[in-house]
């Protein structure tokens, strides 16, 4: 230590201080005097430790001391260790000869620990002082020269050379002073009688006792010793021995007997009665901890003894009789305290880094822990541990210093927080244990993908559902926390029948409820798939997908449609039957179709009304109309049948068709149209009338047929020019335009009418039937095919026609734009046999016509292709 002191009258000032650095393994040592003012320089600790001053703040450089007061502090800007609070060595270390402050220097990121020891040097800031200002000493006049009288000792809390050094006595003719040393090096004075006293000449003597220390400058204290000369008491008490040694455990209760002293006096009476007390040499601290019983000589514990404060006490006790001019005798008792394990270990959390991220790598420092035990020996040795079932470990860095680190990667979803119990146990007997709990919170990261509760979802929706209704709900879970677990749902982009999926369904992004945006039609779409994505709000976000399969369930919302036979001229269907037909003769076949499926499309046929119920029967499921018996001459020449076609739905829907059968002798090559003959006329009485009617009807029919052919040729010629987009190359190819049939309404009758217009073929027939949904079937015929009763029908919705505009393909050069997307989905309907009047060589199936008859096929826009001169074809439809 290198420092200088400047002397001034009445004060001491510290002029210059230089601290000496003692190198050690991760340890430095400074030496400073006490009583330095705030801000006094101690040392550049950052430079001495080789640390980067610019990183002190970022690495959380700090000083940790075991005391309640922070005497020293570090300036993080320059790394200088300075005095934060004035240090009083006597307060910090009491009477210990060496006083040191032990500091722990902690740096984080990464963790570094250093030990710093600062020795506090004593300065001469205390003068010796006596307990009393005046001290009365009684000396019998019979005392012989050389008699010694112990004087009251002065007290100086300083240590070393600054402590009490010597005493001196003011000059006098009777007494001298002799200075003695105790075992601990302290001084006390004894007054020595140099010549006999004569009470009659001088009964009181006054001398000034001065106590001086060894400091620079020297300090001193005085007390007046008043010597009172007493009459002689011939005998003085005597102790068994002048020195006693006693051992006692610390923390014994108050009143415990330390030692029983015994002194004897040969005198009798009051001169022989002995009283015990502390001598003037006993310091005040000893008087506070012990007491002497005056009559018995028992020395007992008065205060609380603590081995950690002091383990050795010297008791100076005197004995004096009660006679006049009594003279006191003295003895010394040396008390050694024995350490007991009366202090539990102390666990101090020097640094705690919590919460910790769940992806923190193994070895991450969670806390720095110091353990202290004020006991000594085995009682002060401490072992520290934590439970084995936690992913943490304690690593010992220095003696009684530990770091708590992770041993594996944490998982917040498994354990979100840990309460780690740190147990500190000393090696005393019995051992003492201290436990401290550290709460470690685990911070969540977005490491879990949302998971749907099902691998896929299957939803069944009844057709004709109301738009906006919820059809199902999907649910995903995310075990993360806070925003990492907040999920939002969306439907991935895709197409259903060429349309964006967003036009079919929507989803609530918060709840996962899926809603239908339109009313589904089983006849247009049977099923579709959508992809739902669940995405969390973490960074970066995580997501997962699930497939939702939507199946449309059929409702019985389509009435059966008669496709064969078809009425003629908006009236009823007609056909002929030979009079020579045998029983079971196949008259014809009623064919119908139903756009529904399953039981809703299972059709049954029955005759509701008949001119003669005994003549005809119809097969329940095939619709074949046969004769029951042979025709007789008395049977009517015309028979009207009302045939009902009924599906198997709930509730069932039905339609009916009226058929007029004419009995002829032979079947003509062309179908007869004897619709106006009376049903019950007699052949003999009506033969002439029949001939007239046949001639008249033939003429009218021929005229009408010629008109139809002319109109058809003109119309088809115009349509050929307007339908070039459909690539029809022949004037005889008429294409059927489809319209949406999404709207549903009720219509309970059958309407057969000829429809004509500028944009509709002239030879078109519209048929609507019973049921909750109206169907309009339109077909276009060539002039030759107008003679036949074979037509293909197509569903048509009159509401759609009125309210919606059907997108039409724009012809090149007439708009400059590409045609809009068209839903190309075709309701594939299996057409039943349309034979009504099969020839004998013809198998059941499509009716064969004359060579001038053009077979009309169902052409759906815009996929119409004409590949042969006489027909138009469409994919999926066979001849």
Reported as a single tens digit per residue, the pLDDT across 580-592 is 889 999 999 999 9
Residue 711 pLDDT class (50, 70, 90 cuts): confident
Q: Output the pLDDT for position 106.
A: 86
- More confident call, 711 vs 861: 711
pTM of the model: 0.49
Highest mean pLDDT among 412-416, 512-516, 847-851: 512-516
- More confident call, 112 vs 845: 112
- More confident call, 67 vs 380: 380
612 has a pLDDT exceeding 50:
yes
How long, in residues, is the chain?
879
Q: What percent of the chain is modeled with pLDDT above 90?
A: 34
Which of 275, 276, 264 has its CA nearest to residue 237? 264
Which of 490, 417, 420 has its CA nearest to residue 450? 490
Q: What percent of the chain is modeled with pLDDT above 70?
A: 75
Q: Output the pLDDT for position 855.
A: 34
Q: For 623-667, give the secondary structure using H, E and C.
A: CEEEECCCCCCCCCCEEEEEEEEEECCCCCCEEEEEEEEEEECCC
Average pLDDT value for residue range 272-292: 89
Q: List, as own/partner pairs, every contact residues 616-619 make where C-beta atoms lie below 8 angstroms and the sequence separation is at least 24, other chains included.
A: 616/587, 616/641, 616/661, 618/590, 618/643
Q: Output the pLDDT for position 19.
A: 36
271 has a pLDDT exceeding 90:
no
- Round to whole Å and give the CA distance between 458 and 330: 108
- More confident call, 408 vs 267: 408
Q: Which two tokens stand for residue 436?
A: 């401290």
Contacts of 389 (CB under 8 A, 6+ apart): none
Query: Does residue 772 contact residue 744 with C-beta atoms inside 8 Å?
Result: yes
Q: Output the pLDDT for position 256.
A: 93
Which DSSP helix (H) or strand (E) runs through 710?
A: helix 683-722
Q: Output the pLDDT for position 569.
A: 64
Cis peptide before 101 (omega within 30 of 0): no
pLDDT digits (tens, 9 = 90+) for 65-85: 766 778 888 988 898 989 888
845 has a pLDDT exceeding 70:
no
Residue 688 pLDDT class (50, 70, 90 cuts): low
Q: Output the pLDDT for position 176.
A: 92
* 3-state helix, strand and coil shares in percent for the chain, rounded to the nearest 5: 10, 40, 50
Residue 570 pLDDT class (50, 70, 90 cuts): low
406 has a pLDDT exceeding 90:
yes
Residue 50 pLDDT class (50, 70, 90 cuts): confident
826 has a pLDDT exceeding 70:
no
Q: Output the pLDDT for position 668.
A: 63
Q: Output the pLDDT for position 719.
A: 60
Q: Output the pLDDT for position 870.
A: 34
Lowest mean pLDDT segment, chosen from 141-150, 180-189, 372-381, 656-665:
180-189
Average pLDDT value for residue range 409-420: 91
Q: Output the pLDDT for position 690.
A: 67
Mean of per-residue pLDDT scores for the chain: 76
Q: Output the pLDDT for position 28.
A: 87
Residue 543 pLDDT class (50, 70, 90 cuts): very high
Which of 554, 836, 861 has its CA nearest to residue 738? 861
Q: Output the pLDDT for position 721.
A: 56
264 has a pLDDT exceeding 50:
yes
Q: Output the pLDDT for position 677.
A: 38
Q: Output the pLDDT for position 669.
A: 58
Highest mean pLDDT among 195-204, 362-371, 392-401: 362-371
Residue 329 is given by DSSP the state E
Q: For 188-253, give the secondary structure using H, E and C.
A: EEEEEECCCCCCCCCCEEEEEEEEEECCCCCCEEEEEEEEEEECCCCCCCEECCCEEEEEEECCCC
Q: Output the pLDDT for position 697.
A: 79
pLDDT digits (tens, 9 = 90+) for 625-639: 999 998 888 888 899
Q: Output the pLDDT for position 291.
A: 94
Q: Output the pLDDT for position 396.
A: 86
Q: Output the pLDDT for position 193.
A: 92
Lowest mean pLDDT segment, chosen from 279-283, 286-290, 438-442, 743-747:
743-747
CA-atom Rg of the chain in angstroms: 63
pLDDT digits (tens, 9 = 90+) for 735-748: 333 333 333 333 33
- Tell me the domains of the chain and their CATH numbers: 2-121 (2.60.40.60), 126-231 (2.60.40.60), 233-340 (2.60.40.60), 346-440 (2.60.40.60), 451-553 (2.60.40.60), 561-681 (2.60.40.60)
Residue 334 pLDDT class (50, 70, 90 cuts): very high
6 has a pLDDT exceeding 50:
no
pLDDT digits (tens, 9 = 90+) for 460-475: 999 999 999 999 999 9
b vs e for 155-171, b when ≥16 Cβ sit within 10 Å of the residue's Cβ?
A: bbbbbeebbbbebebee
Q: Output the pLDDT for position 689.
A: 61
């Amino acid at each position: 230590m290198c420092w200088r002191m400047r002397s001034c009258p009445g004060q001491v000032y510290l002029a210059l201080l230089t601290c000496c650095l003692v190198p050690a393994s991760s340890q430095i040592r400074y030496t400073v005097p006490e009583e330095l003012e705030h801000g006094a320089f101690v040392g550049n600790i950052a430079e001495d430790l080789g640390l980067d001053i610019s990183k002190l703040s970022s690495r959380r450089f700090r000083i940790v001391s075991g005391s309640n007061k922070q005497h020293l502090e570090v300036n993080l800007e320059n790394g200088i260790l300075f005095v934060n609070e004035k240090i009083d060595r006597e307060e910090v270390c009491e009477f210990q000869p060496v006083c040191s402050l032990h500091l722990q220097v902690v740096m984080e990121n990464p963790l570094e620990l250093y030990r710093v020891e600062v020795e506090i040097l004593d300065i001469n800031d205390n003068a010796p002082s006596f307990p009393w200002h005046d001290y009365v000493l009684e000396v019998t006049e019979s005392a012989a020269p050389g008699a010694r009288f112990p004087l009251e000792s002065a007290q100086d809390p300083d240590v070393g050379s600054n402590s009490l050094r010597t005493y001196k006595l003011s000059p006098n003719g009777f007494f001298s002073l002799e200075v003695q040393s105790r075992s601990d090096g302290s001084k006390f004075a004894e007054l020595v009688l140099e010549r006999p006293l004569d009470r009659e000449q001088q009964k009181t003597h006054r001398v000034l006792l001065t106590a001086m220390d060894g400091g620079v400058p020297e300090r001193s204290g005085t007390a007046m010793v008043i010597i009172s000369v007493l009459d002689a008491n011939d005998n003085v008490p005597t102790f068994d021995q002048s020195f006693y040694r006693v051992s006692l455990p610390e923390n014994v209760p108050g009143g415990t007997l330390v030692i029983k002293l015994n002194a004897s006096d040969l005198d009798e009476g009051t001169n022989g009665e002995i009283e015990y007390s502390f001598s003037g040499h006993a310091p005040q601290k000893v008087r506070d901890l012990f007491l002497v019983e005056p009559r018995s000589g028992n020395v007992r514990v008065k205060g609380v003894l603590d081995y950690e404060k002091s383990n050795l006490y010297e008791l100076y006790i005197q004995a004096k009789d009660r006679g006049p001019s009594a003279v006191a005798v003295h003895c010394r008792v040396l008390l050694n305290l024995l350490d007991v394990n009366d202090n539990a270990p102390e666990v101090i959390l020097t640094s705690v880094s919590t919460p910790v991220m769940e992806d923190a790598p193994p070895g991450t420092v969670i806390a720095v822990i110091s353990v202290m035990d004020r006991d000594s020996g085995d009682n002060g040795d401490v072992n520290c541990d934590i439970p084995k079932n936690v992913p943490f470990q304690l690593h010992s860095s220095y003696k009684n210093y530990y770091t708590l680190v992770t041993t594996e990667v944490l998982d917040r979803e498994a354990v979100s927080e840990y309460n780690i119990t740190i147990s500190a146990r000393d090696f005393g007997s019995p051992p003492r244990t201290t436990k401290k709990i550290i709460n470690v919170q685990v911070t969540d990261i977005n490491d879990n993908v949302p998971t749907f509760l099902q691998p896929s979802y299957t939803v069944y929706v009844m057709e004709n559902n109301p738009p906006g209704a919820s059809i199902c709900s999907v649910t995903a879970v995310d075990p993360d926390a806070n925003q990492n677990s907040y999920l939002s749902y969306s439907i991935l982009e895709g197409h259903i029948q060429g349309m964006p999926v967003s036009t079919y369904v929507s989803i609530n992004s918060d709840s996962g409820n899926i809603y239908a945006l339109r009313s589904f039609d089983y006849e247009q779409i049977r099923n579709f798939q959508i992809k739902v994505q669940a995405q969390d709000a973490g960074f970066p976000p995580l997501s997962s997908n699930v497939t939702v399969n939507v199946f449309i369930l059929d409702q019985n919302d389509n009435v059966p449609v008669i496709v064969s036979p078809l009425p003629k001229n908006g009236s009823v269907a007609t056909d002929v039957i030979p009079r020579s037909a045998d029983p079971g003769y196949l008259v014809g076949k009623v064919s119908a179709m139903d756009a529904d499926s399953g039981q809703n499309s299972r059709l049954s046929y029955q005759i509701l009304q008949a001119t003669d119920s005994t003549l005809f029967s119809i097969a329940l499921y095939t619709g074949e109309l046969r004769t029951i018996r042979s025709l007789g001459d008395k049977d009517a020449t015309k028979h009207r049948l009302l045939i009902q076609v009924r599906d198997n739905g709930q509730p069932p829907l039905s339609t009916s068709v009226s058929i007029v059968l004419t009995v002829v002798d032979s079947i003509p090559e062309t179908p007869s149209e004897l619709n106006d003959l009376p049903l019950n006329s007699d052949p003999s009485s009506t033969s002439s009338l029949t001939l007239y009617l046949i001639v008249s009807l033939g003429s009218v029919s021929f005229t009408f047929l010629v008109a139809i052919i002319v109109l058809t040729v003109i119309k088809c010629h115009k349509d050929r020019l307007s339908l070039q987009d459909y690539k029809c190359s022949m004037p005889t190819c008429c294409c059927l335009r489809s319209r949406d049939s999404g709207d549903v309404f009720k219509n309970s009758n059958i309407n057969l009418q000829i429809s004509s217009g500028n944009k509709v073929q002239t030879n078109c027939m519209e048929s609507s039937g019973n049921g909750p949904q109206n169907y309009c079937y339109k077909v276009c015929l060539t002039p030759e095919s107008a003679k036949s009763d074979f037509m293909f029908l197509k569903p048509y919705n009159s509401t759609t026609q009125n309210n919606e505009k059907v997108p039409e393909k724009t012809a090149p050069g007439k708009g400059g734009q590409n045609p809009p997307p068209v839903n190309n989905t075709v309701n594939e309907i299996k057409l039943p046999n349309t034979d009504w009047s099969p020839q004998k060589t013809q198998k059941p199936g499509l009716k064969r016509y004359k060579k001038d008859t053009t077979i009309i096929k169902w052409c759906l826009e815009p996929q119409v292709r004409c590949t042969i001169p006489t027909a138009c074809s469409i994919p999926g439809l066979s001849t």
